[in-house]
Amino acid sequence: MKKYLFQSLLALLVVFTSCKKDVESVTVTPENATIYIDNSLQLKATVMPDKAPQDVRWSSSDINVAEVSSTGLVTAKNVGICEIMAVAGDKKAVCKLTVEPMIFSVNGVDLEMIKVEGGTFSMGGTSEQGDDAGENEFPVHQVTLSSFYMGSTEVTQALWEAVMGVNPSVYQGDRLPVEGVNWDDCQAFVTTLNQLLSSQLGEKKFSLPTEAQWEYAARGGKKSMGYKYSGSNTLDLVGWNPDNSGGSHHIVATKMPNELGLYDMSGNVYEWCLDWRDTYSGTSQTNPQGPASGIVKVSRGGSFSWTVRGCRTSSRGGNPPADRKGDIGLRLVLQ
């Protein structure tokens, strides 16, 4: 009886061994892919032959660009290029992945949004601002922000017209920043834009940035190098200002971007923010929205026609919300 059981088990082992095959190849579909930040892509691994073990181990060559789950679901994190690898046995296959910025199109005009990863920073007249820091930039205080997206450029006249059907700017040109718009005009623009793109936005909405969001992004967010202006200690490299503008606006994104890839955060035109302007509190804050009421709305970034001092990352401008001026425009956030 024992001899019979032994022979039966041996026969089963032989059958099992003959059925099991080594992995000869593994392929990944697709082999090349491009997706936008925060989007996902399901990859498929095919192991040959069919009778080979089908266990697949997934990994990313750069988890800062994209992460991959144990089932091959890729999530894009930041702009860049990486390889997503599938390993079965001693065989490997790769998907070359490119992560691009988030881009929307409105009536043929593109709007690029850059991810700003949340973090904590010192807001106000920090040491690199030196004697140029104004009284309303103090006290310096700690602010913590959630992640958001910000327009890579100021809203252009082409985009404004694509959304609103008119161009209110004094100095006209499709790639020039829109100006001659007051704070309420900007709210109407944002509302219309959200309606036009509602099917693509999900739960996200466009808005003006809070003052804290604007300064954090201008400083470079988590990538900040501690510059006085947005992207450099030399203003002429990053911004159109009274000393180099010739007294006029300039096409967006013709100067160097800052650490996040944002253009013209210093100079060109001032940018409306959501907040009423008020004195700073010295207490730490999380996602501050500014005071409930006030006289002037915050405008940030300086302009081609105002002072060089106003182009610093911590400089705080402000205007009554009804003001329409030739050097005030806007930049969008998405959250």
| The residue type at 16 | F
- The model's pLDDT over 112-154, given as tens digits with 9 standing for 90+, comes to 999 999 999 999 999 999 999 999 999 999 999 999 999 999 9
Alpha-helix runs per DSSP H in the chain: 2-19, 157-164, 183-196, 198-201, 211-218, 235-238
Reported confidence tier of residue 5, pLDDT bands at 50, 70, 90: low
- The model's pLDDT over 218-228, given as tens digits with 9 standing for 90+, comes to 999 999 999 99
- What count of residues does the chain have? 335
Q: Residue 5: in which H helix or E strand, if any?
A: helix 2-19
Per DSSP, the three-state class of 214 is helix
CATH homologous superfamily of 102-334 equals: paralog of FGE (formylglycine-generating enzyme) (3.90.1580.10)
- Mean pLDDT, the chain, rounded, equals 93
Q: Residue 97: in which H helix or E strand, if any?
A: strand 91-100
pLDDT at 78: 85
Question: 4-13, 57-66, 76-85, 235-244: lowest mean pLDDT where?
Answer: 4-13
- Mean pLDDT, rounded, for 41-64: 89
Please tell me the distance from the alpha carbon of residue 153 to that of residue 175, in angstroms, as a whole number.
10
17: pLDDT strictly greater than 90 = no
20: pLDDT strictly greater than 70 = no
- Delimit the CATH 2.60.40.1080 region(s) of the chain: 21-100
pLDDT at 297: 98
Q: Tell me how many degrees the CA angle 278-284-286 measures, rounded to the nearest 5.
A: 85
- Delimit the CATH 3.90.1580.10 region(s) of the chain: 102-334
pLDDT at 15: 43
pLDDT at 315: 98
Please tell me the distance from the alpha carbon of residue 122 to that of residue 88, in angstroms, as a whole number.
48
Please tell me the distance from the alpha carbon of residue 99 to that of residue 33, in angstroms, as a whole number.
9
Reported confidence tier of residue 12, pLDDT bands at 50, 70, 90: very low
Q: DSSP string covering 6-66, please?
A: HHHHHHHHHHHHHH-----EEEEESSEEEEETT-EEE-EEEEESTTS----EEEES-TTTE
- Cα maximum dimension of the chain: 104
6: pLDDT strictly greater than 70 = no
Q: pTM for this structure?
A: 0.83
Instruction: Please tell me whether the peptide bond between 288 and the residue prior to it is cis, using omega within 30 degrees of 0.
Output: no
- What are 297's strand-pairing partners? 276, 319
pLDDT at 107: 95
pLDDT at 175: 98
pLDDT at 16: 42
63: pLDDT strictly greater than 50 = yes
- The model's pLDDT over 291-318, given as tens digits with 9 standing for 90+, comes to 999 999 999 999 999 899 999 999 999 9
- Percent with pLDDT over 90 in the chain: 84
- The model's pLDDT over 162-207, given as tens digits with 9 standing for 90+, comes to 999 999 999 999 999 999 999 999 999 999 999 999 999 999 999 9
Q: Residue 151: in which H helix or E strand, if any?
A: strand 148-151
- The model's pLDDT over 252-294, given as tens digits with 9 standing for 90+, comes to 999 999 999 999 999 999 999 999 999 999 999 999 999 999 9
- Mean pLDDT, rounded, for 40-59: 88
Q: Residue 138: in which H helix or E strand, if any?
A: none
CATH code, 21-100: 2.60.40.1080
pLDDT at 23: 86
